[in-house]
Structures are given as structure tokens and as C-alpha cells.
Amino acid sequence: MLEVTKKLVDLLDLAPIGDDHFQGDSEDLGFPNVFGGQVLGQALMAASRTVEGRLCHSLHAYFLRPGNHSMPIDYEVQRVRDGGSFSVRRVIARQGGKEILTGSMSFQVAEQGFEHQLDMPKAPAPEDLKSEQEWGQLLAPQVPEKMRPSLLRDRPIEIRPVNPVNPLKPEVRPPHKQSWFRAQGQLPDDPVLHRCLLTYASDFHFLGTSLNPHGVTFMSKNMQVASLDHAIWFHRDFRMDEWLLYDKDSPSACAGRGFNRGNFFNRQGVLVASTTQEALIRQR
């Protein structure tokens, strides 16, 4: 495992502080606030620590306040129900006594059943694409010096975007985006960790899908963008240290909000997870 990936794994390894309460550190990715995917991934880890023999199959969360990346985050887990097949947990994330995220997670025992899925869409192979970090190196000379570290930083999750948008010179495009994702280096065989890492990564390159038709990005003048909620459904087992295609579309934008959907496929074309998110996309 690369050191940068180990730091992310350690970030998700929450410290128990008693009575189904956990505490996690925050990381600074160069954004004004805590990255939403970090809070989602840590919330899922907190809930998973209170469940045995069952893996998360769905997660639904609301972002309530921006998080401060200079402060730790406290996670309270509430044991809503443990049934014969499913367990449900509610998680509240707090900083300074104020709630920044609330969510519910459902866990299920392993079970066989009917099988079908959407076909994997066509996409270039990841080996034929530049990484997000390589694109950042090309953009760095064109952005203010204070923004360069976030473009050039080492990344635990390698992202290779298909036909990326230049955030400095956006153009009108269809509401569709694709990226290949994988964790850098080999990971342990822990399905809980792989789910938490996908949850963390699923917030990257997502809300921008709803900006494509309007020719703007999060760096455009007078734009206020933020994730409002996030949902994930885990369909099948996967590994985050192997390439996954994240295929995203945006069916609608209105009332200052953009709605986004995503599907994760492995290289064999198996649909392993699906996501949705509504985001604030307000032009002041």
C-alpha cells in the first residue's frame, strides 16, 4: 500500500470513544470545507463498527452544515433495528456540538436471489487516459499560486477522467461524465474498507455533471456549489484497488439544484454500485 493510501485508510479507521460513539480526524484537500466524501466514508465506517456478519447495501445521507477540516468529527451511531436479515443504523456527525451530517445505513446478510443489471456503457480503457494529477500539472501554471497545491497533491484515489472539462474554460456539454477510479496500491481483503473507500470516492467528479449543460464549473465566477444529499446502493462485491468505471448523468436541474446519478462498473462489466446526489448549483 502506498503511503498516501495508508493515510486515507487510517483516516477511515475511527477511534471508539464509548457507547457507539466514534471520532475521526479531518483532511484538508484544498477545499474551503471538509470534503463531503470523507464524512460519508467515516459515517459508514462508524455504522459498520456496530454490525456483525452483515455488509452495507444502502446509504442515504444529508449534508447539514459545512465541516471544518481543522477539527475532528464525532460520530454517534443509533441502533435502529436488527432483524433476521437486515440491520439499520442512524448516524449523526457533529463538530463543535453541531450536526454536519445525518444519515441512515442498511446492512444485509449474504443472500442469493434474482439477477439482472444494466449493460456497461462504452468507455476508453484507463490505460489510454491521463490521470487527474497529470491534468492538474498541465493546469497548474494557469491558476493562482494558492490553488496549485490542490491540483498537484498526491492522491490515494487515482482518477482518470474521460474527456475532462477545463475548469478555467468550460464549454456547454451534455449532462454526462465518465471517470475511472481505483485506490493506489494493494488493499487488504476487507469488504467494509472497500465499501467505505468507494463511498469516499463517489463524491469526486459528481455534482459537476449537472453543470455540464450550462458551461460552468465550480471555479466559474459567482458560482456557489455544494452537495446537499448523497445515496449509495452496493449491489455486488468489488475491490477498490482495481479499476472501476464511474458513469454519471444528470436528468434534471432546477430551482438552484442539480440532480445527479452514477453507476460503478468493474472491468468485467459488472455493476457493483449506484449513486445519486442532489447538489446546490446556485449562480449568484
Band (248; pLDDT cuts 50, 70, 90): very high
Are β-strands 223-227 and 271-283 bridged in parallel, bridged antiparallel, or unpaired? antiparallel
**Tens digits of residue pLDDT in 31-50:** 789 999 999 999 999 999 99
Handedness of CA 224, 229, 233, 238 (dihedral sign): positive
Calpha distance 128→100 (Å, rounded): 39
End-to-end CA distance of the chain: 43
Active-site residues, by number, are: 203, 227, 277
- The Cα 136–Cα 113 span in angstroms is 44
Structure confidence at residue 157 (pLDDT): 95
User: For residue range 138-174, what is the model confidence (pLDDT) as tens digits?
Assistant: 777 777 777 776 777 788 999 999 999 888 888 999 9
pLDDT at residue 243 above 90?
Answer: yes
**Which grid cell is 102?**
445525518
Helices (H), the chain: 3-12, 36-48, 132-139, 148-152, 191-201
Residue range 172-190: mean pLDDT, rounded:
97
Residue 235 gets the label, from left (phi > 0), alpha (psi -120 to 50) or beta, of alpha
CA torsion sign for 185, 154, 219, 73 is positive
